[in-house]
Amino acid sequence: MHSEDVHKRFGRLEVLKGVSLEVTKGETVCIIGPSGSGKTTFLRCINHLEKIDDGRIEVNGQLIGYRQKKGKLVEDSERNIARQRTQIGMVFQRFNLFPHKTALENVIEAPVHVLGTPKEQAVGLGKALLGRVGLADKVDAYPGKLSGGQQQRVAIARALAMGPALMLFDEPTSALDPEVTGEVLSVMEELARAGTTMIVVTHEMGFARKAANRVVMMDDGLIIEDGTPEHFFEAPTHERTKQFLSKIL
Amino acid sequence: MHGLVAVDWHVIWQQVFHPSHVLFRTLWATVYISVASQAAGVLLGLLAALARMSRFAPFRWISGVYVLIFRGTPLLVQIFYVYFAFSWPSLHFGFWTVPDAAIAGIVALSVNEGAYMREIIRAGIDSVDRGQMEAARSVGMTYGLAMRRIILPQAARVIVPPLGNEFNNMMKNTSLVYTIGVFELFAFSEQNYSQTFIADYFLAIAVWYLVLTTVWTFIQALIERRLTESERGEELSFRERLENAWNPMAAWGRGIQHR
């Protein structure tokens, strides 16, 4: 993932003021920062759930959401954007599971109907993925019957089922009870160890310290610090980062 | 004519328990006109609802004008205009013929129904959490696929109860197409009345309308039960749904909000 000078405005309010970030294959990058700093917006721009007003974002060398036309960037067709999104898994703060489908149906929905994977093969994959997130026994449960932590793990399996090159996590544990955040974080740590490329917006400093290769601090629409967890937590250079860390640690 | 209202039970008994072939034919006409009009009305309503939510402004205007006109003018006027302003073909399916007046009636009822269904369907789609569309798109679905696979099935739970009401109205509204010469249930009673001056023919077909709407109540309860499969537990039982459909106050008595 490569982003260059990304700008995003909501009306008059400029939420992203030129965000440039490079994430290489296999890396886990945590984005932290106070609320309103634009970290969630930036994440949503990466799979074009938000349109960017300026700059460019590439995933796997492919420009996201736009194409070059006569030297200018124009928004890409819906079909192409949809195809690009199959490469980018997203896990939402509020899970957003499909409530009318069982855990397994949630996971195989897109492989079957978007990628055209044969149903049997998708079911095999879906069961394996649900097993990987520790829910082998909940295959036929509807989301309404699952705890928040279980729902979020199904959501992770659903995103993984597309075989994405990049996984985005938007505050995946913020809507969870403290006692179940652990089960979601350990699934994510396992993914990070297995070499999944991940960008995680989070307030979980423990996770950032343990699982991230890099930690990025955003404030007021800009990246103000970018470094290894050791550097970030032991010797932050920016005054704002020190302030932020002293408040939450 | 009568000083007292005297009900001729014999006529009613005959028409209800020993219906003639003619009555069955008219009953069938009422059923197929209702079903065809409602089905087409739902489709039109869906199109109009999607147009209403379109990013392309002219679609939104067309949808608005459509609803304004067809909800704002009498159904009877629409039926007459559709029948007399255009020429309609009769359709033949083997031994079954659908006369031109019935076609015109179905068209008028459908277009009218679509205007009412638009709001019901839009409310249903609006009731689905925005995150559902985002989740669907994040796994690579296009707008159309996400609508079909994710949004509409969830909207259906909200749409079906008022849709059931609409269909109930539809079965009764089909009696209006009698005025353009469709031989349906009401026409049957009217014809018999004008030959015999026995008003109880009207009561007899009222019983038949009641049978139709009651059967529908059962079917609707079954459909609603199917749609809430994924949330068993908080869901009302089949019997409770029937009770609600029969008598909204039954739900109040148990302290459950009637939908």
SS3 A85: helix
A10 contact B CB<8A:
no
Q: Which ipTM was obtained for this model?
A: 0.91
Look up the CATH architecture of domain B9-258. Orthogonal Bundle (1.10)
What is the rounded distance in angstroms from the CA atom of residue B195 to the CA atom of residue B214?
30
SS3 A23: coil
Chain A residues near residue B139 by CB distance under 8 angstroms: 85-86, 89, 109-110, 114, 158-159, 162
What is the rounded distance in angstroms from the CA atom of residue B131 to the CA atom of residue A49?
11
What is the rounded distance in angstroms from the CA atom of residue B40 to the CA atom of residue B115?
11
User: Could you list the pLDDT tens digit for every one of the 249 residues in chain A?
Assistant: 899 889 998 988 999 999 999 999 999 999 999 888 999 999 999 999 999 999 989 998 888 988 888 878 888 888 999 999 999 999 999 999 999 999 999 999 999 999 999 999 999 999 999 999 999 999 999 999 999 999 999 999 999 999 999 999 999 999 999 888 999 999 999 999 999 999 999 999 999 998 999 999 999 999 999 999 998 888 888 888 888 888 877
Instruction: Suggest the residue from A85, A100, A170, A199 to mutate for an interface test with chain B (most B CBs closer than 10 A).
Output: A100
Closest chain A residue to B130 measured between Cα atoms? A96
Measured in angstroms, the CA of A48 and the nearest CA of chain B are apart by 9
DSSP assignments along A99-162, one per residue: TTS-HHHHHHHHIIIII---HHHHHHHHHHHHHHTT-GGGTT--GGGS-HHHHHHHHHHHHHTT
Per-residue pLDDT, B258: 39
A116 contact B CB<8A:
no
Candidates A94, A100, A158; nearest CB to B230: A100
What is the rounded distance in angstroms from the CA atom of residue B108 to the CA atom of residue B70?
10
Measured in angstroms, the CA of A98 and the nearest CA of chain B are apart by 7
Per-residue pLDDT, B250: 54
Q: Which amino acid is located at A77 in the chain?
A: S
Give the phi and the psi of residue A217 in degrees, each rounded to 5: -105, 125
Per-residue pLDDT, A246: 86
* Residue B106 predicted with pLDDT over 90: yes
Q: Which of B11, B32, B34 is nearest to B205 (CA)?
A: B11
- What's the mean per-residue pLDDT of chain B? 89
Candidates B137, B154, B233; nearest CB to A85: B137
* Residue B15 predicted with pLDDT over 90: no
A236 contact B CB<8A:
no
